[in-house]
Structure 1
Amino acid sequence: MNNFILIFFFLFLGLLLQRVKGFPSNAYKFLNKIVIYLCLPAITLYHIPKIKWSNELLFPIGAGWITFILAFLFFHFLGKKLGWSNKLIGCLILTAGLSNSSFLGYPIIEALFGKKGLETAVLVDQPGTFVVVSTLGVFVAAFYSQGSPNTFSIIKKIIVFPPFIMFVIACLLNVYNYELDLEIQSVLLKIGSFVTPLALFSVGLQLKFDKKSQHWKFLRLGLFFKLILVPFVILVLYVFIFKQHSEPIKITIMETAMAPMITGAILASTYGLKPKLSSMMIGFGIPISFITLSFWYLILNFI
């Protein structure tokens, strides 16, 4: 419950400060840099070394990758056919292709499936969604933010992306089974805990309720894809094609049905990919997802 209160508190705080005269209108850019260059690397270095790998983990881990690839194929080809700008396509891929599988996902999964369910939730989030945003996410952001994409430039941006650097280091620690000092882990956990409040505050500072905005139709399409189409495809793929009926599979499907990932929206905003639309995907996606998640939970109970 505390997590849900924090979600709306920081969103509304950002909205409120938009109206305060003298408050820097570009403050969200500074917050975005703190999230991307400090908080996210800390989360990566804390969680990845703790993961124990096995073949059974492929389903929950693969969900985040499948979701992002589906978003890329759907919005890239649809956007090119309809003549959308690269920035619009990139924004929709980053926001509709990544799930809020941690801050929003963890408390919801724990409430519905108990603490045991968190084991699966972490697998969907850390080696799945979080690694996707640190690799493919950066590639998409760099690719669609440039008028004439340069392969070397894009690769360079991925390599020097702090969360990606920490991901490589964390994977090496995992491979060599090396545990960081407990005090260092404690510091990393504290730094990482600032991701959600800062990111939500940033989203609130950018969120606009303009009835005449041209983004509404893209918002509806993006949320339909993220909250309805993606979990439907994962449900059909995992349950009816691969014949998987375990509780971890149900948890995985619920995770893919979460609202758009805040980090994806921050990444889109940082690279200039329709910041207003990316904020709308978060600002409207979170409350709407509570309704659609109830729908998916009922369906999964009948399977």
Structure 2
Amino acid sequence: MSNIILLFLCIALGALLRKGKILPENGHVALNAFVINISLAALCLFYIPKIEFDLKLIFPVAVAWLNIFSAILLFTFAGKKFGWNKSLIGAVIMCAGFGNTSFVGIPVISALYGNEGLKTVMLVDQPGSFVALSTVGIAVVNFYSGSHSSAGEILKKIIRFPPFITFLLAIFLNIFQFHVPEVLDDVLSKLGATTVPLALVSVGSQLRFESPGPYTKPLAAGLLFKLIFFPLIIFILYCLILKQNGEVIEISLMEAAMAPMITSAILASSHDLEPKLCNLFIGIGIPLSLLTLTLWYLVLQQL
């Protein structure tokens, strides 16, 4: 219960800090930088060396990749049918194709499944969401905005990204069964613990409630896919067709149902792919996802 209270309290604090001008208008940039480069990196080094790898761990990693490729297929076809322009199609793909597996995912999974659930979140987030965004995501924004990044530039972005470096280090430690000294492990735990409150304050400070106006239909289509249809696809594929169950599968489905990713929306906006629509996906998608995530969690508890 305390984790649920923390979730709503920190989001509210973020909104209040922005409205009271205590937090600068772009204060979330600094918070995001700390969470991504320090807090998430610490979580990687704390949890991943302790994971016992088996074939079932493919399922959480696959969630992010299935998300973006299904969004590309659906909205490339739907966008042409509805007469959307190129930048609109690109914006919807980017916002509906990536889930908020860290800024919203970590606090939610921590609240529902405890800290043990964060091991699975790290797999969804790092080899899943981050690598998919850094490769397929960059290719999508380049195509729909008309700009171009070479394969070498994309590779440099991946290699130089601190959480990805620490992810590779954590995998190395796991493979060779190297145990991090207890004192250092405690430091990583404390740094990782900053992820939830800082991420939620950042999310709260970025929430904007505006009228969708001409973006109503693409916004509704994107959110319907992201919050309902895509997790339904994962549910049918993982639970009904492949007959998988257990906490790893439950967390994979919950991560599939997360709100649109803030980073992918920022990436799309920075390439002039309908910035207002991208902001709407975040401002409306995050609070709405708290309701739909609750519904998905109740469904899973009935299995």
- The C-alpha deviation readout for 1:175-224, integer Å capped at 9, x for no partner, is 11111111111111211222222222222222211225555544433332
Deviates more, 1:219-228 or 1:276-285: 276-285
- The C-alpha deviation readout for 1:63-86, integer Å capped at 9, x for no partner, is 444334433443455457632414
Structure 1 residues 4-15: aligned runs within 5 Å: 4-15=4-15
* TM-score, normalised with respect to structure 2: 0.79
Change (3 A) 1:180 1:99: same
Indicate if the aligned counterparts of 1:208 and 1:276 stay in contact, CA closer than 8 A.
no
- The C-alpha deviation readout for 1:232-288, integer Å capped at 9, x for no partner, is 1122212332234x4447624642454327xx3145436745776566545544543
Give SS of 2:169's match. Answer: helix
Partner residue in 1 for 2:35: 35
Partner residue in 2 for 1:107: 111
Partner residue in 1 for 2:134: 138
The whole-number CA distance in structure 1 between the counterparts of 2:246 and 2:232 is: 17
Q: Which amino acid aligns with 1:103?
A: P
Indicate if the aligned counterparts of 1:28 and 1:205 stay in contact, CA closer than 8 A.
yes
Give SS of 1:25's match. Answer: coil
Partner residue in 2 for 1:114: none
Indicate if the aligned counterparts of 1:71 and 1:96 stay in contact, CA closer than 8 A.
no
Partner residue in 1 for 2:96: 92
Partner residue in 2 for 1:149: 148
Give SS of 2:202's match. Answer: helix
The whole-number CA distance in structure 2 between the counterparts of 1:108 and 1:207 is: 23
The whole-number CA distance in structure 1 between the counterparts of 2:278 and 2:200 is: 12
Partner residue in 1 for 2:258: 259
Indicate if the aligned counterparts of 2:265 and 2:279 stay in contact, CA closer than 8 A.
no
Indicate if the aligned counterparts of 1:101 and 1:125 stay in contact, CA closer than 8 A.
yes
Deviates more, 1:268-277 or 1:47-56: 268-277
What is the CA-CA distance between 1:166 and the residue it aligns to?
Answer: 0.9
What stretches of structure 1 move > 6 A for 4+ residues in a row?
A: 96-99
Partner residue in 1 for 2:228: 228
Deviates more, 1:203-212 or 1:54-63: 54-63
Change (3 A) 1:202 1:153: same
Partner residue in 2 for 1:83: 85
- The answer to whether the aligner puts 1:206 opposite 2:206 as a matched pair is yes
The whole-number CA distance in structure 1 between the counterparts of 2:222 and 2:247 is: 26
The whole-number CA distance in structure 2 between the counterparts of 1:97 and 1:89 is: 17
RMSD: 3.3
Give SS of 1:260's match. Answer: coil
The whole-number CA distance in structure 1 between the counterparts of 2:181 and 2:229 is: 43
Segments of 5+ residues of structure 1 without an aligned counterpart are: 111-117
What is the CA-CA distance between 1:143 and the residue it aligns to?
Answer: 3.5
Indicate if the aligned counterparts of 2:59 and 2:249 stay in contact, CA closer than 8 A.
no
Q: Which amino acid aligns with 2:11?
A: L
Structure 1 residues 1-303: aligned runs within 5 Å: 1-21=1-21, 23-75=23-75, 78-79=78-79, 82-85=84-87, 86-95=90-99, 100-109=104-113, 121-122=117-118, 124-146=120-142, 147-150=146-149, 151-212=151-212, 215-244=215-244, 246-248=245-247, 251-252=250-251, 254-256=253-255, 258-260=257-259, 264-266=261-263, 268-269=265-266, 272=269, 280-281=280-281, 284-297=284-297, 299-300=299-300
Give SS of 1:135's match. Answer: helix
Give SS of 2:106's match. Answer: coil
Q: How many residues align?
A: 292
Segments of 5+ residues of structure 2 without an aligned counterpart are: none
* TM-score, normalised with respect to structure 1: 0.79
